[in-house]
Structures are given as C-alpha cells and as structure tokens.
Amino acid sequence: MFAFSNWKKAGVFLAVNFFVQAIIVWIIYPQISPTLQPLDVRVGLTPETIAQFLSDIGSAGRDLYFINEATLDMLFPLIYSFAYALLLIELLKANELHHSLARYWVLVPLGIGLCDVSENLFLLSTIHSFPDQNSLVAQGLGIANMAKHGLTIVGIGLIFFYAGRLVLVKKRRP
C-alpha cells in the first residue's frame, strides 16, 4: 500500500468515503427510522437493545436495513478503511516515519473495516432471524461493534497525532 499511496489517491478515497457516508446517513438511515439511531452507530449493544430496535423499526424498516447492510454498508468499510489507511500512510511519509515501526499503524483502519464487515454480517443474521435471536450472534454483534468503535478512536487519534506532529515539525524548521 505504501508504494500505491499518494495524497491524490487518499483524497479521492476520502471524497468517495464522504459521499457514500452521506447517502447512508442522510438518505437511508432516516428511511429505516426517522427517530432512532441505527445499531451501526450505537455503542454497547446488548441483546435487549438489538431486539428492541428491530421491533421498533417494523418489517419495512428491517427489510430496508437488511438491504443496506447487504449492499452499501458492505462496501463502505472497504472504502473508508482504504481512505484512512492511505491518509495515514501519507502522514507517515510526510513525517518521514514510513520506514519505522510506525508503519504498522496503517493496519488500524484495515482492522476497523474488518470489524465493521463482521458487525454487518452479524446484523444480517440478526435481522434475517428476527424475532428469534441467537445469543451467540448477538454477543458477536456486540463485540464487533465495540471493537469497531474502539479501533475508530485509536485511528482518529493516530491521524490527529501525526497531522499535529507534521504541523509542529514544519513550524520548527526554518
């Protein structure tokens, strides 16, 4: 990925990321439920909160949620994980750290994407079997959800850290 990466490609992936995210957040999610936050963005899912949400959105909401999870929300993690990996690579290059152990931080956005795809697969299974609920699937969904959000915090922190480091280093150079 380091050889493939440049600022332009990172920018293109980020633009596509924000476009797809806008479609999901502003068009699809409000159609699923105009008042409830989807399970994807919640933290700390339990079997009870999952069942309550799926009950509250009704059959039509579950159908739309299933379609979204099986299509656009399966592609979205691939798009954003590459977008943020490319951004992080460029920040590491700009900080002249791309040959150091810091290069392994690029795995964090890819891990977020993997957790998100896992979460989506668990969601698809949960929606498909509703109203029945498999406790192992619900637990897997909760774990994938927490891992995704935890790694997202780490990823955002890395981007801010290396962007801030770049700004501070440039200020010190004459």
Q: 12: which 2 tokens? A: 């293109």
Q: What are the residue ranges of helices labelled H in 71-106?
A: 72-94
In a domain, 145, yes or no: yes
Cα 139 to Cα 105: distance, rounded to the nearest angstrom:
28
Write out the DSSP string of 104-126: GGGHHHHHHHHHHHHHHHHHHHH
In a domain, 140, yes or no: yes
- Say what the pLDDT of residue 3 is: 86
147 — pLDDT class (breaks 50, 70, 90): very high
- For the segment 21-80, what is each residue's pLDDT rounded down to a tens digit? 999 999 999 999 999 999 999 999 999 999 999 999 999 999 999 999 999 999 999 999
- For the segment 65-115, what is each residue's pLDDT rounded down to a tens digit? 999 999 999 999 999 999 999 999 999 999 999 999 999 999 999 999 999
Cα 156 to Cα 163: distance, rounded to the nearest angstrom:
11
Domain of 113 in residue numbering reads as 7-30+54-172
- Say what the pLDDT of residue 94 is: 94
Among 13, 55, 14, 16, CA closest to 33: 55
How much is the average pLDDT of 127-132?
Answer: 96
Q: How far is CA 29 from CA 53, 160, 168, in A?
A: 13, 28, 40
In a domain, 35, yes or no: no
- Say what the pLDDT of residue 174 is: 62
In a domain, 45, yes or no: no
Side chain identity at 63, as an amino acid letter? D
- Say what the pLDDT of residue 172 is: 73
How much is the average pLDDT of 163-172?
Answer: 86
Are the C-beta atoms of residues 72 and 124 closer than 8 Å to each other? no
The lowest-confidence range among 64-68, 119-123, 158-162, 166-170 is: 166-170
In a domain, 38, yes or no: no
In a domain, 19, yes or no: yes
Rg (the chain; Cα; Å): 18
Phi then psi for residue 2, to 5 deg, are -65, -40
The total number of structural domains in the chain stands at: 1
